[in-house]
Structure 1
């Protein structure tokens, strides 16, 4: 006996604009994380001479292989 496949109801498809919005938001968050963990050096920080962000992510920076001193 052959059984036929019935697709599940309730599966939601995303439209192209919705997919583009999610992709843009994810890319923006990834670039911000990359900046704060990999590039922000305190002296050239977007927050001036404050080094709180640098010190906050210092260990994560070394763990991920980014040199910072």
Structure 2
């Protein structure tokens, strides 16, 4: 969830840098650089969360398969 928040803030910063600060180059480019790092950080958090969710799902599937095998043996 936090990864999406950082990505959304990065998108808002890009939009603001081109609409509000279109005449001031220093602010515009500094906001673009900051938004790039927010995109990277948000993507890292999303990837890390997805890897954790996949691992949890695989563990649950393994447990369900073992339970099914136990039921079939009895």
Query: Normalising TM by the smaller chain, what interval?
Result: 0.3 to 0.5
Q: Which has the higher contact order (CA 8 A, sep 6+)?
A: 2
TM-score by length of 1: 0.40
